[in-house]
């Protein structure tokens, strides 16, 4: 590897770390904006609307107006308007009921769920890597939830695990669509349709609270700018420099970062068993990514963002 390649690899790693940092503070900022009186539809409508506007500008500047088959347009709109918006809503809603650290650890069950779905639908062959990854992640989830499950808000757990399942399904579909379009176009259309979901349906039907303190708006701005625009762009360009597999592995630091921020900023506490469980969940996801059999996860992470 020459000096230029080392520089580009190092820069790519930095970009993925910035992206991971951005995604990791999403539930933390969610806690803050909810405590400030913001509603779910307000937060996600603003997030997706501004993100979509920025990405449309970038897409047209870099690639021109998207010219893709009508079928792909509909699939992408469904992925964003239903899949991604539902996942984002479930995940952010979960922090109303459970600690942000626990929500992040539960969400990261999604890589192994992707593997299970891919094997069951014959998109991948089963392997020892996947088997041990499944065992580690399952054991990790048991430790995260703990023996005294009755002490944990079951609705919050269900919302977080639901977001993981929806996210896994979204990735399986996205893996096929990404072969026919670019990641930038994919992100742009998904953000646009998610904005319409929370704008047309969410705001119209359930209403939105716009009378918020400036500090709450600052938190929403952080979710929009840092946890969406910056996180998505840095992941997209970082992946181009170091590849999807390496990017996926580095991204598993996300729940670790969330736990650290939750302990420092929100004064949350996790038990030693939950910390160990989180490590097992992440290790299980890494084993799935590293499987020598062709894997769905590395290919789709170019558009699988929180």
Q: pLDDT over 90 for what percent of the chain?
A: 29
52 within a domain of the structure (yes/no): yes
Q: Band of the pLDDT at 72, cuts 50, 70, 90?
A: confident
pLDDT in tens, 23-66: 999 999 999 999 998 988 899 999 999 999 999 999 999 888 88
- Show the tokens assigned to 34: 């909810």
Q: Whole-structure pTM over 0.75, yes or no?
A: yes
Residue-level pLDDT at 291: 62
pLDDT top residue among 9 and 293:
9
181 within a domain of the structure (yes/no): yes
pLDDT top residue among 299 and 249:
249
Q: Is residue 299's pLDDT more than 50?
A: no
- Show the tokens assigned to 22: 């951005």
Residue-level pLDDT at 289: 64
Q: Is residue 237's pLDDT more than 90?
A: no
Residue-level pLDDT at 285: 72
* Phi, psi (rounded to 5 degrees) for 278: -60, -40
CA distance 267 to 269: 7
Residue-level pLDDT at 304: 45
Average the pLDDT over 121-133 and give the result: 72
Helix/strand number for the chain, H first, E second: 17, 0
Residue-level pLDDT at 246: 72
pLDDT top residue among 173 and 160:
160
Residue-level pLDDT at 44: 93
The number of domains in the chain is: 1
Write the DSSP string, 138-193. HHHHHHHH-S-GGGS-HHHHHHHHHHHHHHHHHHHHHHHHGGGS-HHHHHHHHHHH
pLDDT in tens, 260-285: 898 889 888 877 877 888 888 878 77
Q: Band of the pLDDT at 74, cuts 50, 70, 90?
A: confident
9 within a domain of the structure (yes/no): no
pLDDT in tens, 179-217: 677 878 888 999 999 999 998 877 677 666 788 899 999
306 within a domain of the structure (yes/no): no
192 within a domain of the structure (yes/no): yes
Residue-level pLDDT at 47: 94
173 within a domain of the structure (yes/no): yes
pLDDT top residue among 21 and 184:
21
How far is CA 185 from each of CA 20, 77, 140, 141, 239, rounded to the nearest angstrom? 21, 12, 36, 35, 16
* Domain span at 254: 15-300
Residue-level pLDDT at 129: 72
Residue-level pLDDT at 156: 92
Average the pLDDT over 61-88 and give the result: 88
3 within a domain of the structure (yes/no): no
2 within a domain of the structure (yes/no): no
């Amino acid at each position: 590897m020459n000096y230029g390649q080392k520089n580009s690899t190092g820069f790519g790693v930095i970009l993925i770390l910035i992206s991971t940092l951005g995604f990791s503070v999403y539930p933390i900022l969610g806690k803050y904006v909810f405590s400030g009186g913001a509603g779910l539809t307000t937060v996600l409508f603003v997030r997706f609307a501004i993100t979509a506007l920025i990405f449309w500008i970038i897409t047209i500047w870099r690639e021109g107006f998207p010219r893709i088959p009508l079928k792909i347009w509909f699939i992408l709109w469904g992925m964003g308007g239903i899949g991604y918006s539902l996942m984002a809503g479930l995940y952010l809603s979960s922090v109303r009921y459970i600690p942000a650290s626990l929500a992040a650890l539960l969400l990261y069950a999604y890589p192994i769920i992707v593997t299970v779905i891919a094997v069951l639908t014959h998109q991948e062959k089963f392997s020892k890597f996947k088997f041990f990854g499944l065992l580690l992640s399952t054991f990790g989830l048991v430790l995260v939830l703990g023996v005294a499950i009755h002490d944990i808000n079951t609705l919050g757990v269900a919302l977080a695990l639901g977001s993981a399942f929806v996210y896994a399904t979204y990735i399986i579909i996205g893996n096929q669509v990404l072969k026919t379009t670019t990641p930038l176009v994919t992100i742009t259309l998904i953000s646009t349709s998610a904005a319409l979901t929370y704008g047309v349906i969410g705001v119209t039907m359930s209403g939105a609270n716009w009378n918020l303190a400036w500090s709450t708006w600052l938190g929403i701005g952080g979710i929009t700018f840092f946890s969406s625009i910056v996180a998505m762009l840095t992941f997209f360009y970082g992946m181009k420099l170091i590849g999807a597999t390496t990017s996926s592995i580095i991204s598993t630091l996300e729940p670790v970062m969330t736990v650290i921020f939750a302990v420092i900023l929100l004064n949350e506490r996790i038990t030693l068993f939950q910390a160990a469980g989180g490590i097992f969940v992440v290790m299980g996801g890494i084993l799935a990514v590293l499987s020598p059999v062709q894997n769905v996860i590395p290919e789709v992470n170019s558009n699988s963002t929180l």
